[in-house]
Structure 1
Amino acid sequence: MVQSINFVILGKQDIASEFGKKGTETDLTLYDRKESDVIKTWVVPNGFPEKIQPLFQAINLAEYVILYVDKLDKFTGEQIIALDSLKKEKGILSHTFDVDESKLNMMIKGTVVENYTKVDQDKIKEEMDKLEPITNNDPSEMVIDHCFDVKGVGTVILGKVTNGTVKQ
């Protein structure tokens, strides 16, 4: 059975193109890649910071966070607060050489981000590859984004399976 892992990329978002092929682009941009029997998806909230909704939508879609900080500003603070509010406890934290690590540590102190795995920027992919799909055998549950009819196929539903499995 094919499994999946969903990541959200926050901070410096252009690293997403290094991980997967660009797909759908709206307020969220999706990148994906299939490795063996695992589909990896990276969600980038490119509608943020103009709108806050894409940030929360992207975070909610992900099991894991990649926070790659390139500057310490109010938008970085908003992302840290959003991650903490949504209790996204599993993630990778990295930063560019321009970022003062002691100031970053002060910003994340007391938040879920404080416990993220900290890596150098050239080790993000290596650390990400260690992460396993999260399995959940609870009763099936799916969050539906939207649905539409496709001639000859039927109704197509786009969303995320949050529990269990869904079979055709």
Structure 2
Amino acid sequence: MPKTLEKARKAIAKKRGGAIEALHAKSRDSRRLHKAQVRDDRLEKMSEARRKRDQPLITRIAFFQEATRENENKPLELSAIQKKIAEFCHQHDEEYHEMKRARRQGRPPSAREDLLRMKMEALHKEERDGFYLPDLTNEKTTEMLDRWDGNWAFLTNLTWVKIQSSGRSAPASFPPQTN
């Protein structure tokens, strides 16, 4: 949470000897408070946008964290990882097909249906070209993934790979590179 406004308000109150309710509209102090408020709003908006952008990766990691916990935090075989990747990529299929069936013939798809279709296409393309996830074949990574509590900064400690549908695994860096 940005604290620029609180700091500016405290400094002005200290300088003025208490109350800051009686500020002139165009005074230096009121401009300082306004500038601090605008900065806090901008930082909050940027933080929210970052959280929204990072959310799909967080849900992906939580899915694979649960998969390693089901395996008692032991490293997974490549075939088991590929099954989990397929499960993750096809998680929206049922909802999409249900929405498609429920739509009357001749009607355009809803915004939610379009969004699901685009998300599914992106996941299938990534599954084919190289799916980005923590290295679940590495014991140290699976142990660290078990300790992960949702914190973005902790993810840099994990080893990352891209696994293609052919079974080839290549090391990757964090955060993922978007094209």
Question: What is the TM-score of this pair, normalised by structure 1?
Answer: 0.23
Larger Rg: 2
Is the helix fraction higher in 1 or 2?
Answer: 2
Question: What is the TM-score of this pair, normalised by structure 2?
Answer: 0.23
Is the strand fraction higher in 1 or 2?
Answer: 1
